[in-house]
Amino acid sequence: MYDLSFLVERFEGLGLIFGSAGIATLAIYVIAVGASLYPVSLLQSEWQVRFATSLINNSGFAIVGLCLVHLAAVFASEYPSLQRRRDRLAQWAVLAAYGFLLLIPLQLHAVWQDRAIQLATQTAQQNDLQRKISLMRQVVSSATTAPELRQGLQTLQGPNLTDKDLAQPLPQLRRQLMASFDLVLKENNSNSRNRRLPPLNLLVRDSIKVTLSCIALAFCFAALAQKSRSTVPLLVEWQSFPKGLMMGPRERSSGRRHTMEETMAEMIDEMSDAEDNPRSPR
């Protein structure tokens, strides 16, 4: 008989390596996600988008780490500590699976809210500037003297006129001020075009990408997750959920659905009983 003890020892050593590598990979995931938390601003959509993006982009570390921990428990089955570690992490993976599903509406809400806030802020800034320039135009048009013009512009926190400016004829000073107002509006419109928000179709594409990514990650974590009192992975429970909805009331109360083979076997047994015990004629 061949001696396979050396293979067992190698498998156990490989399992210990997988276990250590899995924990290190999970630690990298925690550090990467934790770094994106600061500065913490729970109510700001920008912070929510940054945190959710970090969870999604770094999720590969968590999946690889969980896979390594599961492999460690298989290769080094003689180590109860690895089994317990695998079970604890599998329970945490349940939260991760449901968390990525809940991340879909939160991420979409944060992204669209951030766009709405940026659009509202940009529109408010443009309206304030136009209103302020409109008031300064009225002051320039209605002022009859240079000191009156300077006083009106100072009240509106407009351009500060020097003594050299006041020495010019009033009509010429008005033309210069009107030209400077037009230049400010032109530069503001140019800057607004440069700071233009992302196109709507790009935002929709990113939203679809985030949704599909979260669903895929949720299924990945569900395959590696298992509840404390369950004997199957969470993904198996999810797959059996539609079948549970198709059960009848009696089957659902018994906790299982009869297969076609079981149903046929029951019918054959009933027919056999009927032949063995015929009813007496009335």
Taking all residues of the chain, what is their mean pLDDT, rounded to a whole number?
Answer: 79
- The answer to whether residue 254 sits within a structural domain is no
Please tell me the distance from the alpha carbon of residue 84 to that of residue 226, in angstroms, as a whole number.
Answer: 13
pLDDT at 3 over 60: no
User: Which tokens hold the place of 53?
Assistant: 């993006």
Count of domains forming the chain: 1
- The answer to whether residue 250 sits within a structural domain is no
User: Which tokens hold the place of 246?
Assistant: 């198709």
Q: What's this model's pTM, rounded to 2 decimal places?
A: 0.63
User: Looking at residues 10-32, what average pLDDT do you find?
Assistant: 88
- The answer to whether residue 258 sits within a structural domain is no
Query: Which amino acid makes up residue 15?
Result: G
pLDDT at 265 over 60: no
User: Looking at residues 187-193, what average pLDDT do you find?
Assistant: 73
- The answer to whether residue 129 sits within a structural domain is yes
Q: How far is CA 20 from CA 61, 65, 75, 82, in A?
A: 14, 9, 13, 10
User: Among candidates 251, 219, 256, 248, which has minimal Cα distance to 236?
Assistant: 219
Give the pLDDT confidence of 48-100 residue by residue, as tens digits: 888 889 999 999 999 999 999 999 988 888 888 889 999 999 999 999 999 99
pLDDT at 177 over 70: yes
- What was the pLDDT predicted at 59? 94
Calculate ∠ Cα 123-204-44, nearest 5°.
Answer: 55
- The answer to whether residue 281 sits within a structural domain is no
Three-state DSSP at 38 gives coil
Range of the domain at 27: 5-228
- The answer to whether residue 207 sits within a structural domain is yes
- The answer to whether residue 272 sits within a structural domain is no
Query: Which amino acid makes up residue 3?
Result: D
- The answer to whether residue 134 sits within a structural domain is yes
Three-state DSSP at 208 gives helix
User: Looking at residues 258-278, what average pLDDT do you find?
Assistant: 48
The overall longest dimension of the chain from CA atoms, in Å, is 130
